[in-house]
Structure 1
Amino acid sequence: MVGTLSGALEARKIPASPNKVKAQVQGTIEAPEGVLKITKISCHFELKIPQGKREAAERALSVFERGCPVVQTLQGCIAFHHTWVITED
């Protein structure tokens, strides 16, 4: 997910490295029907972007899942939830 988001940012001329994108990811494990499985993945992104690039960064955050192989593979099986904080340099 971070790689795909970084690519979406770079395509919008927003540097993704070094240390410009951080993610905290948490999986929720439940036992519906008595079998443990991951039911939700929550990801909180922290972005450091140049001044004036907030709109482009928010657009990248809103669409990157379409090109993310992890999300596209697990979509329908696991719920994804994303939050973010954007800091402008």
Structure 2
Amino acid sequence: MLGTLNGALEVRGIRLDPEDISAEAEGIMRLRDRMPVLEEIIVHYRLRVPAEARETVDRALASHGAKCPTARSLEGAIKVTWTAKVEETPSPS
């Protein structure tokens, strides 16, 4: 999902350095018939973006999951959700 989000941002003219975009995935396992089964994946994004790009970043975040091959492949079997901590950086003078 990180690659899909990064691609969506680049298409919109927002190029982030590797230290400005990262993700951590959390898997939620539950017992079914005494067997642990992966039921949910939560992707936690951390982004540092120029303040003037915030609205564009929010739109890319809102739509990237529907365009992610991995998320679409898991659809119906494993719930995939995301959170985002977005830090705005000041525009260069």
TM-score with structure 1 setting the length: 0.91
CA RMSD of aligned residues (A): 1.2
Deviating above 4 A after TM superposition, structure 1's stretches of 4 or more consecutive aligned residues are: none
- Structure 2 CA distance for aligned equivalents of residues 16 and 77 of structure 1: 32
Partner of 2:47: 47
Unaligned runs of 5+ in 2: none
**Aligned partners of 2:34, 2:40: CA distance in 1, in Å?**
17
Checking the alignment, whether the CA contact within 8 Å between 1:9 and 1:60 is kept in structure 2 is yes
Residues 32-57 of structure 1, C-alpha deviation per residue, up to 9 Å, x if partnerless? 23332210001111111112111100
CA–CA distance in structure 2, aligned partners of residues 50 and 10 of structure 1: 13
**Computing the radius of gyration over CA atoms, which structure comes out larger, 1 or 2?**
2
SS in 1 for 2:18: coil
| Paired amino acid for 2:33 | E
Distance (whole Å) between structure 2 residues aligned to residue 70 and residue 32 of structure 1: 24
1:9 equivalent to 2:27? Answer no
| Number of corresponding residues | 89
Q: Which structure has the highest strand share of the two?
A: 2
Q: Percent identity of the aligned residues?
A: 33
Q: Which residue of 1 aligns with 2:60?
A: 60
The answer (yes or no) to whether the contact 1:15–1:49 under 8 Å persists in 2 is no
